[in-house]
A and B are shown apart, each in its own frame.
Chain A
Amino acid sequence: MKKTVLLGALTVAGLAAGASAAATLDDVKARGSLKCGVSTGLPGFSATDANGTWVGFDVDVCRAVAAAVLGDASKVEFTPLTTQTRFTALASGEIDMLARNTTWTFSRDNDLKLEFTGVNYYDGQGFMVPKDLGVSSAKDLDGATVCIQTGTTTELNLADFFRVNNISYEPVPIETNAEAQQQYLAGACDVYTTDASGLAATRATFEDPAGHVILPEIISKEPLGPAVRHGDNEWGDIVRWSLNAMIAAEELDVTSANVEEKAASDIPEVQRLLGTAGELGAMLGLEAGWAKAIISQVGNYGESFERNVGEATPIALARGLNAQWTDGGLLYAPPFR
Chain B
Amino acid sequence: MSTFPETPKDGFRLSQLIYDTRYRSLTIQVVAMILLVLFFSWLVSNTIQNLSDLGKDFYFGFLSQPAGYDINQRLIEYSSESSHGRAALVGILNTILVAFLGCVLATILGIFAGVLRLSKNWLVSRLIAVYVEGFRNVPLLLWIIAIFAIMSEAMPQPRAFREGGGASMLLGDSVAVTNRGVYIPKPVWGDNSTILVGVFILSVIGIFIFRSYARKRQEATGDILPVFWISAALFFIPSVLAYYILGRPVTLDYPELGGFNFKGGLHLRNSLIALWLALSLYTGAFIAEIVRAGILSVSKGQTEAAYALGLRPGRTMNLVILPQALRVIIPPLISQFLNLTKNSSLAIAVGYMDVRATLGGITVNQTGRELEGILLLGLFYLVLSLVISGGMNIYNNSVKLKER
Cα–Cα, bound, A69→B366 (Å):
32
> Which of B69, B80, B258, B362 contacts A143, CB < 8 Å?
B258
B270: chain A residues within 8 A (beta carbon) = 188
Cα–Cα, bound, A151→B68 (Å):
11
- A163 near B: Cβ within 8 Å? yes
Q: Contact at A163–B80, with CB atoms within 8 Å? A: yes
B34, chain A: closest CB distance, angstroms: 15
Cα–Cα, bound, A189→B270 (Å):
12
Cα–Cα, bound, A310→B152 (Å):
34
Of residues 237 through 266 on chain B, the ones whose CB sits less than 8 Å from some CB of chain A are 258-261, 263
Interface size class of B (residues with CB under 8 A): 35 or more
Q: Contact at A9–B70, with CB atoms within 8 Å? A: no
Closest residue on chain B to residue A174 by CB atoms: B351
A229: chain B residues within 8 A (beta carbon) = 54
- A145 near B: Cβ within 8 Å? yes
Q: Contact at B152–A188, with CB atoms within 8 Å? A: yes
Report if A113-B261 is in contact (Cβ < 8 Å); known contacts: A12-B47, A155-B70, A159-B70. no
Q: Contact at B46–A16, with CB atoms within 8 Å? A: yes
B260: chain A residues within 8 A (beta carbon) = 141, 143-145, 190
A162: chain B residues within 8 A (beta carbon) = 70
Q: Contact at B70–A13, with CB atoms within 8 Å? A: no
Q: Contact at A170–B55, with CB atoms within 8 Å? A: no
Cα–Cα, bound, A16→B50 (Å):
6
Report if A183-B152 is in contact (Cβ < 8 Å); known contacts: A91-B370, A160-B80. yes
B357: chain A residues within 8 A (beta carbon) = 150, 173
Contact digits for A135-166, partner B, Cβ 8 Å, 1 yes 0 no? 00000011111000011000110111011000
- A112 near B: Cβ within 8 Å? yes
Secondary structure of the A side of the interface?
Answer: mixed
Cα–Cα, bound, A144→B270 (Å):
16
Q: Flag the segment in A82-90, A256-264, A276-284, A318-326 that touches B.
A: A82-90
> Which of B72, B79, B152, B368 contacts A171, CB < 8 Å?
B72
Report if A113-B351 is in contact (Cβ < 8 Å); known contacts: A20-B49, A150-B357. no
- B173 near A: Cβ within 8 Å? no
- B53 near A: Cβ within 8 Å? yes
- B361 near A: Cβ within 8 Å? yes
Cα–Cα, bound, A144→B258 (Å):
10
Q: Contact at A159–B56, with CB atoms within 8 Å? A: no
Q: Which of A17, A113, A170, A175 has the most CB of B within 10 A?
A: A170
B157: chain A residues within 8 A (beta carbon) = 187
Cα–Cα, bound, A214→B37 (Å):
60
B351: chain A residues within 8 A (beta carbon) = 150, 172-175
> Which of B39, B54, B80, B364 contacts A9, CB < 8 Å?
B39
Contact digits for B125-137, partner A, Cβ 8 Å, 1 yes 0 no? 0000000000000
Closest residue on chain B to residue A190 by CB atoms: B260
Listed A/B pairs (5) with beta-carbon separation below 8 Å: A16-B43, A113-B55, A143-B258, A156-B69, A186-B179
